[in-house]
Amino acid sequence: MTVPRLLGSFAPGAAPAAANPLLVLLPSLGTTTALWDGVVARLRADQRTAGLRILRIDLPGHGASPVVRAPVTIGELADAVLAVVDEAGGGAFHVAGVSLGGTVALELAAAHPDRVRSLVLSCSGARIGTPDGWAERAASVRASGTASLVTGSASRWFAPGFLDREGGGPGARSLSTLVDVDDESYAACAEALAGFDRTADLGALDAPTLAISGEHDTVTPPASMQDLADAVPDGRHVALDGASHLAVLEEPAAAAELIAQHVAAAERAGAASVAHDRGMRVRREVLGDAHVDRAVAATTPETAAFQDFLTRYAWGDVWDRPGLSRRERSIATLASLTTGGHENEIAMHVRAALRNGLTRDEIAEVLLHTALYAGLPASNAAFAIMRAVFQEGDAASSAPAAPDTPAAPDETP
């Protein structure tokens, strides 16, 4: 077995700059990337997602992608999608898929968690149908071609009355497209679904997951999509009224709104995570691992939000700004703490000032200067704390290592 070659294209409307977030859209068995036309148009008109790079990728033998003449697995289709993404600039991305496309998206999230920022599964599942059912479908297509599937697909794909109401719209065009899908490629994709089952892995998914179902879908009914969302740690399910298996085609406005909300929330969470990581790095550089480890170990459910706020905004933002050096920030911090009478924080920031390159004489000079404006009693107390820290350092340098001191209180940066 080999990884098939797939082709994709960027939806127009935004400059495909590598810095812009990427959303990958995958269609269902028997359809092409045109399935997403209505959703893409609305995402482009939405301020939250107007800047997304939107990359749509066709399945083997569907639309622009070459045919396959050998068996494929969902894992190989996922690897083929990654190859297209890497050609387009690589990195982590958001991914949404319908039915078969959803299984490929799920495989990406399960097998390559570092690449998937968020996951949208529309009318899909960790397992769809039965192996025997897909084997029968593959045999039927090989014998009679995809044209033989049109009538059955019309009833599976769309809610009652939809095709009549829309006339010759996207639904009718999708059925016409089905006739053009390569028979052997369709059969190979059906057999790939026969061998796919990620049910046991749902509880380990890291990506925020949105499950969208159609009210009338009998292939992946709303109850099955709710079960999937319940099994994922960060899962959510929404059923679209009046839709069936191709819910994103039947209700593009509702689907686009859900996807826009989901991607925007994932982007905010990702930005917060980056800020937290950056803040934790600066916090450790300034205060030292031992202090930060004690503070983190002492975190409780009641103080967790404060610790996150402290790390992201104080250390990840203000302390990491280029306008002042670390030495200068230590000077400002010592002066501010002394002026405010925050004596419980001074010792920690005397140690931080030493780590940031201030000498003992320079720290003493800062406290002397602060006495002019903060008052003698405040600076006198700060001098006493400074002396204690210096004596502690002298003792530590000449004595055997001592056990860690008790956990420090939440610090003021």
**Domain coordinates in residue numbering, the chain:** 8-270, 282-398
Q: What percent of the chain has pLDDT over 90?
A: 79
**Rounded mean pLDDT, 314-325:** 91
State the Cα torsion 152-125-238-114 to the nearest 10°. Answer: -140
pLDDT at 73: 97
* Residue whose pair of structure tokens reads 């969902």 in the numeric block: 74
pLDDT in tens, 348-362: 999 999 999 999 999
Nearest CA to 136 among 213, 190, 217?
190
Q: Which one of 3.10.180.10, 3.40.50.2000, 1.20.1290.10, 3.40.50.300 gives the CATH number of domain 282-398? A: 1.20.1290.10
Q: 170: helix, coil or strand?
A: helix
| pLDDT band at residue 404 under the 50/70/90 scheme | very low
- Whether 100 has a pLDDT exceeding 70, the answer reads yes
The pTM of the full predicted model, rounded to 2 decimals, is 0.76
E strand or H helix that includes residue 371: helix 360-374
Average confidence score pLDDT of the chain: 92
Beta carbons of 249 and 170 less than 8 angstroms apart: yes
Phi, psi of 48, deg, nearest 5: -65, -30
Q: Is the CATH number 3.30.470.20 carried by domain 8-270?
A: no
